[in-house]
Amino acid sequence: IGGNITHGKQLVIDIDMVGEVKKENLCLRSQAKEKDFILVTGDLGSSTAGLNLFLKNIKGHNEVKNKHLEPKAKLHRVKPFLKYINAMIDVSDGLASEVKHICEQSNVGAIIFKDNIPISEETRRAAKAVNKDPLDYALYGGEDFELVFTVSEKNLSKVKGFLVGEITKRKGVYLYSRGKEKLISKN
- The pLDDT score that the predictor gives to residue 120 is 97
> pTM of the prediction?
0.90
Instruction: Name beta bridge partners: 110.
Output: 167, 173
Q: Is the pLDDT of residue 74 over 80?
A: yes
Q: Is the pLDDT of residue 51 over 90?
A: yes
Separation of CA 4 from chain center: 19
**How open is the CA angle 23-92-25, to the nearest 5 degrees?**
10
How many CB atoms neighbour CB 14 within 10 A? 8
**How open is the CA angle 23-72-82, to the nearest 5 degrees?**
25
- Give the CA distances from residue 117 to residues 2, 4, 123, in Å, rounded to whole numbers and listed in that order: 27, 28, 12
Q: What is the pLDDT of residues 4-45, one digit of tens each?
A: 556 667 777 777 788 898 888 889 999 999 999 999 999 999
